[in-house]
Structures are given as structure tokens and as C-alpha cells.
Structure 1
């Protein structure tokens, strides 16, 4: 079903604008917006339910928009919007003319399932910048990690900037969120070794064995890992720094650590 919307005062458009800007509205409504063809396709492949699609005919036709969902057995309403409306809804400066409304999936750690009996997991403590979270999710997707856990999250995982910066990898990863206490309990209950990226009481990251169930834990660039985490890690690890500064971007550091673990596990070409 397709309809036309020509006013910014339309209630559906007002809700989309709120979902774009406000985390509390996303949490209350249990839905969020997705911009872009690739991101929408990845969400559908990841089992997300999409209820509505909005397209700007000058950029994306109905035929192009509906093609994305041709193999999906979901009822989706299509709405054509004006260029003015779409420019208000769009998050990117360059866009593809299509936005979807999707339902939340639970990310609570108590619902996290890890089929692999020898998992490799990334844990990020209290990341604040959506761009960093998106980069971590892209790295996790590239390495095909078993899970990404966000501990003490400072922003909701369906923030449009996380979706954008992750290039849709928020939908391709097995993502969970929880308090740091819940995360530590989860890792311990599954007998997963915890390797914390920290300078104190640490060894060179290449000297550890990540071939057994392992979690790579990274903190923020400003404060690093909390004392609570450091009190529970199996071993703290560090990347040797030969320059003037003693830290690097968290997503870069995580990538180095993750791919060392993958190398030890026989990462395929």
C-alpha cells in the first residue's frame, strides 16, 4: 500500500522527526528509523521488522523502494514524501531517498545467545561517541565475532548516527547491552577469559592465547577501563606505543587486538 504525504505537520512525519533526534522517544515507542538502501536490506536480512517505508520520488521511485522488500514476507506500508519532507528526515548530507521505520529488537544481555562453544567477543565499556561505536561494529562484522557487548551504554544502539557510521553493521552483529556487573557475570558464567586493554599490570597483547573462549574488553580513550573491570580481568593487555602519546582511537586499538586473536585462531583468507 502506498500513500502520499505532503505536509511536515503530518503526525507520521512528526513522529519520525522525534525518533531521529530523541533516544527517549525511540525507547518509548520501541522503534527507530533506518536511512539508506543497504542499511534497510541488512536490517531485513537480520530479521528486523519494518512497518513503513518513506521514499522521495525525485531520488528513489516506488519500484526501487519496493524491490528492497520483494523477498520479505512482511506487511509494509509505503509513503511517498516531498523533497522538503525528506530533507528534514534525512540524516546524511548525501542520501538515497529512502527511510524505513523499524521495530526494536531486545538487546538485553540476558537474551544473548552464543551458539559457538569457543566464542570470541568484543566488550566496549561506556562508549559515548556514536562514530566510535559504529566503527567497532564494522570491525566486529569484518572479523565475524560471536557477539558485541556494550557495557553501561551512554547512547541507545539504534541512534541514527550509529546506524550510519556502522554502515548497517549494527544489524549484522550479535549485539547485547547491560551493566558492567551483568556483563562480568555473563562472561564468568560462560567461562570466557577476559582480556582488558589497559596499561596497568599489562603484558604485550601478542603474548596471550586467545584460542580459548575470549573477550577483548576496551574502554574509552579518555578514562580507559573502570577499576571494577580491571579487578575481574583474566589478564590486562597493551599495544606497544613508540610515539609521544600513550593511547590510540578505541576502534583502531580494538581492531588490532581482535585480528591478533583471529590470526591465532587461523583466520581464513
Structure 2
């Protein structure tokens, strides 16, 4: 391995351990520009994607997971073995994972958002970590260009959000930003802003998703904010023929994104 040595941490009072554990809180993530990833799959995805993994910590009693040995052999990240008590202090799950990592938050080049055929998902006040994670996974699955989390959304780097992305966090640009600034900027680049509305005349299937389009999705209970609604260019509705009153925001996002994919990639 490139690591000259493996650091051993056994005490939860160690300053390095306290620094790791502090990343469970948003204020410390914001201050440090770093976040935690938990479990073999997320660490594996981060390393495969070339994310800025600074440290990988594994349970000394269980050893380095087999799935990570080759990746860590090629990585220059710090490698730490830790006692089970340290693993428990630094992770947010009831059963501590065998490994966790410390990753630097990425910088997103805003110009990547404004491509002539860009498909971007914009979240406005979506607060449930599971919904945000599922939307990011769906955006990744259809090959969307980016996801934007506006103010009022759950923290992207909340451990629950990170886990719910299942690694898709590392596969496409995701940024947190001020929609009051980003949406008018998108319009200046000729991008259509599309929201959902029960009063829309276009369905998600009749609407033309080809060309640059940003899909705007609002809060689970109240929808898009008034400030965002005034920026919407076009509205669509997801047709429903059964008795269900509505889809949750993550399901709605997935339905619409796959229709956009169908039109963009599979129309002859």
C-alpha cells in the first residue's frame, strides 16, 4: 500500500477521533469542508469515482474489507485502524459499519449546469433525506447532468442523505445553492424551468423534454415555494388513473426523469 504506516486509534478521547465524530454535525461539516461516508459500498464508490477521500478508518478487529484492499493499495489516503468504541463514536448507525471514510466536499463548476442539452434536477425545500437520496439515484440512473439542492433542503452531507444516495453522490455533480440566483441565471442561458402542477395542461408524457431543461421539485407537503413558482416556464402533470391521491416527490421525480430519458435517447 502507498500508506507508509497504518495509524492506530483506540481512545474515543483522542483529538483525531473527536474531529472525525464532529462531522456528524452540520456546523462542523460546513466549517471543515469535509463529510463522513459509512460502509464498504460508499467507501468503494468514492474511491472508484476518484473522490477526494482523505482518510479511511476500519475496525481493527475485523480488518480491511476485502473489497477495498486493491483500491486502498492504489490510494494515497490516510489509513487508520480503530477500536470498536471509536467506530461507534464516529458513525451514525445503530450497528457501526466495518469502515468509514472522510471526504472533502467537491467544488462544482457552475458552467457544467448550463449545457445546451442539460437535464438538471432542482430541489426546493425537499427535507427528507430518503427522498433526496432517491432523487439523486434516479438522476444518476437516467444520466442527468446535475442535481441542485436549494435552501431549505436537507443537508446533502447529512449521514442519512449520504447513505440513501447509495454512492450516486459520487457519480454526477451535486451542489447546494441559492435558487433565487441560479434559476434566473439558467433562464439567461436559454434553459426551460419545468415544474409540476395539478392545473397543468401538459402531462409529463406529452411535454417535449428534448433540449436544455431543469426539473423543479418542491417540498413534500407544500410543493414549490412562491419565489420558485414565479420562475417556472412550463408546468406538467403526472396522470393518475387509480385512486391514489399523489406520488411522493422521489417517485414523481423518477417517473418524469425516465420519460425525459425515453424522449432523449429512445425516440427513433
* Fold similarity call, TM over 0.5: yes
TM-score, structure 1 length as denominator? 0.88
In the other structure, the counterpart of 1:128 is 127
TM-fit CA distance, 1:174: 1.3
* Match 1:56 to one of 56, 59, 66: 59
What is the SS of the residue equivalent to 1:236? strand
Q: TM-score, normalised by structure 2?
A: 0.89
- Residues 62 and 191 of structure 1: CA distance in aligned 2, closer, same or farther (over 3 Å): same
Structure 1: runs of 5 or more not aligned:
none
CA RMSD of aligned residues (A): 2.3
Contact persistence 2:151–2:177 (CA under 8 A): yes
Question: Which string of whole-angstrom CA distances, capped at 9 and with x for unpartnered residues, describes residues 56-94 of structure 1?
Answer: 03233387655332233x3x2222111122123233345
Q: Distance in 1 between matches of 2:55 and 2:215?
A: 38
Contact 1:134 1:163 in 2 (8 A): yes
Inter-partner Cα distance in structure 2 for 1:82 and 1:91: 16
- Secondary structure of 1:90's aligned partner: coil
Distance 2:224 2:114 in 1: 28
Give the match's secondary structure for 1:266: helix
The SS at the match of 1:27 is: helix
Aligned length: 263
Q: What is the rounded CA distance, in whole Å, between the counterparts of 1:71 and 1:153 in structure 2?
A: 39
Structure-2 separation of matches of 1:206 and 1:137 = 21
Give 1:99-114 correspondences, 5 Å limit: 99-107=100-108, 111-114=110-113
For structure 2, the residue ranges without an aligned partner over 5 or more in a row are: none
Residue-by-residue CA offset, 1:94-132 (whole Å, 9 max, x unaligned)? 56411111112235xx63524853111111111111111
- 8 Å Cα contact 1:140-1:148 kept in structure 2: yes
How many Å separate the matches in 2 of 1:179 and 1:23? Answer: 18
